[in-house]
Amino acid sequence: MPSYVITGVARGIGYEFVRQLSQDPRNTVIGVVRDKQQTIKKVSEDATLKGRSNIHILEADLTSYEAVKRVAGEAAKITGGSVDYLIGNAGYISQFDAYEPIGVLGNEPQKLEEELAKLINIHVVANIHLINAFIPQILKGHAKKVIVLSSGFADLDLTNKFDLNLSSLYSISKAASNMAVAKFSAQYKTDGVLFLSITPGMVEVGHYVNSTPEQLQKLGSGLGKFAEYAPNFTGPISPEEAVKLVRSVWEKASIENGSGGDFLSQFGNKQWL
C-alpha cells in the first residue's frame, strides 16, 4: 500500500496527481495545500474524487518550517510513520518576469528583489524544509523516492543555445532547486533514497489567460525558439498527460541505474519539449 505526500494539490498538476494516484484504493494519498477547507470542498464536489476515502488533505504554508514540521507529524498519524513518495509540486509562476529579460527587470529593482525572494522561498527554501521534515518517514518507506517538479528553463545549455531570456527569475529559482535536490541525493543515496528533479513539460494550466496582446507577442517570440528547439512541438500538454509522463519517469528511475540526483525531462532524458 504505497503512500504519497504531494504539495500544491489545490489545482493544476497537483490536483491531477491526487486524481490519478487515488484511483488505486490501496494507495494513501496526502495532499498539502494553503487552504484546506477550499480544497476539501473542491474534492467533495468532484464527481470522480468525492467517494475516495484514501484522499487526505492537510494545510500548511510551505515557506514556514514550523508549519511543514507540523504537517509532517499529521501525515505520520495517517501513514503510520512512513512515506513512500514525497512529491514537491507546489510552485509559483511570476508574471513580473514572464515577458521581459532580466536587464529590463532591473529597471524595477525593488520589485525584482521581492519576486526573486518569493520564487526562492517557494521553490528552494520550502522544498528544503519539506524534505528535512519528511526524510525520517521516507527512510522508513518502501519506495524511498523524493521528486521535486522542475522546469526546462533551468537548463543552462538550453538557455545558452537558444538565448532564452524570458522567465529569468523563475529559471534561477528552479536551477537552485535542482542543486538542492542533488545535494540531498549526495547525502542520502547510501540510505537508498532516490532524489529526482523532473520537469512536467509545458502544461496548459491557464497561467497566461489574462495576458495583454503585447505580452502575448513577447511570449510568442519565446515559443518560436521552442519550435526551433523541438520541431515536433505542438503546444502545451494537459495536466493528465504531464502527470502520466512524470510518473513513468520516477517509476523507471533508480539509484542502481545512476539516476540519483538527476534533473530529467518528462521523457526521462534532457529533451525538454
For 96, 97, 119, the CA distances from 114, given in Å and listed in that order, are: 10, 12, 9
| Cβ(249)–Cβ(269) below 8 Å | no
Alpha carbons 129 and 134: distance in angstroms, whole number: 9
Q: How many CB atoms sit inside 10 A of residue 81's CB?
A: 12
Query: Could you state, in order of their start, the residue ranges of all structural domains in the chain?
Result: 3-264
Helices (H), 48-125: 65-79, 102-105, 109-120
> Which residues in the chain show pLDDT less than 70?
205-224
What pLDDT, on the 0 to 100 scale, is given for residue 273?
87
SS3 content of the chain, % helix, strand, coil (to 5): 50, 10, 40
DSSP H or E segment with residue 143: none
The string over 191-228, giving b where at least 16 C-beta atoms fall within 10 Å of a residue's C-beta and e elsewhere, is ebbbbbbbbbbbbebeeeeeeeeeeeeebeebeebbee
Predicted TM-score (pTM) of this structure = 0.93
CA-nearest of 137, 142, 167 to 153 is 167
What pLDDT, on the 0 to 100 scale, is given for residue 180?
98
What pLDDT, on the 0 to 100 scale, is given for residue 206?
57
CATH architecture designation of domain 3-264 = 3-Layer(aba) Sandwich (3.40)
| Cβ(207)–Cβ(260) below 8 Å | no
Give the pairing type, strands 3-7 and 28-33.
Answer: parallel
| Cβ(33)–Cβ(8) below 8 Å | yes
Alpha carbons 85 and 107: distance in angstroms, whole number: 42
pLDDT (tens digit, 9 = 90+) per residue, 105-132? Answer: 999 999 999 999 999 999 999 999 999 9
Alpha carbons 155 and 123: distance in angstroms, whole number: 16
Rg (CA), the chain: 18
Active-site residue set: 170, 174
